[in-house]
Structure 1
């Protein structure tokens, strides 16, 4: 008997499959992290990506079929981004008092992370397309992909580098901050938000509301600066 009771490729072709799989896996991953005491290594995004890749690979489901439904998850990105304004509003007084230090800090952080990535890519012999895709790794994924496409990079690579950067920030920010003896939650939030974008900000919001507010603010400013820095560098980069 060669037929199986469940035809996964056929189920995967349904637009509802990608949406249901994404939401179901993420809810399960979030529950798992809470159940295990909030271990950073069990970050819901990391667990979800691993689980979804396993399901698609084992089930023989093409990525294009999965994305027919998974693309609708993007509908939630707008409300989630707007929701970041709430902790910002709660910390507006503190942000105003620190404005003179905030803007230079984010600008320097964005320059270092973008140009540093370009420099590392160049020294390792990466092509122009790969290096430019790497340069946007600290911007949010939609903006990173848009910038990369505009300057002649590879959007898919940019998305992968951005995801890896965000997950690295989630996993490593604690040890790095302790090593650097950074105890102020405002400074921690600025650093993580500038480097690790949305994933880092989500983690900061779980740990401390003030850090989450500063991280949320730095995302927008860092993305804006990245959208100016990378195209400028790309214009001088020999094609």
Structure 2
């Protein structure tokens, strides 16, 4: 059962060095390097082209149609944080807009991930404040019902604990547990170096059939070529 009406002021964030290391890699690389874990559902999309972010999570649990707790969360933001907002039930109302973005940006937030709606998109783009959301929706919200800040939340099917590393780009959003951040960054670097070598081989005309030694397994599986 999720806690309601609480704000945890002290959280353990992933180290700045690990966050910086992870920021060098894309979501797809990190997801694969972590054992194909950590992805949010693909309906969470950037609200404008080119939006991306990497930072430590300040988590928020919202009530449907109510953005009160986003204002509460702003006070808990440290420079380099990403606000990750889940909701107690599916809701696409416009929880977030340019005023809250101005507040979060002033606190040093890197952006917002929200399993809900967002509005004022043109202004957000002008501000260069990245938001990834479930929907773009002009419908406003109220400030009446308590949720919580800095508790574990499930956002778009991904478990997010306060202090975890959240990376978002055009390919989606991935969450790296704080305790695994260094390990995953190392694995991502190894994977990317390996892919660079393969990319060169593909560019030279070599086929994946040979690079990945697929021919024998395909033959064993019964693949036949007919001229």
- Identify the structure with bigger relative contact order (alpha carbons < 8 Å, sequence gap 6+): 2
Larger strand proportion of the pair: 2
Instruction: State TM-score, norm by structure 1.
Output: 0.23
Higher helix share: 1
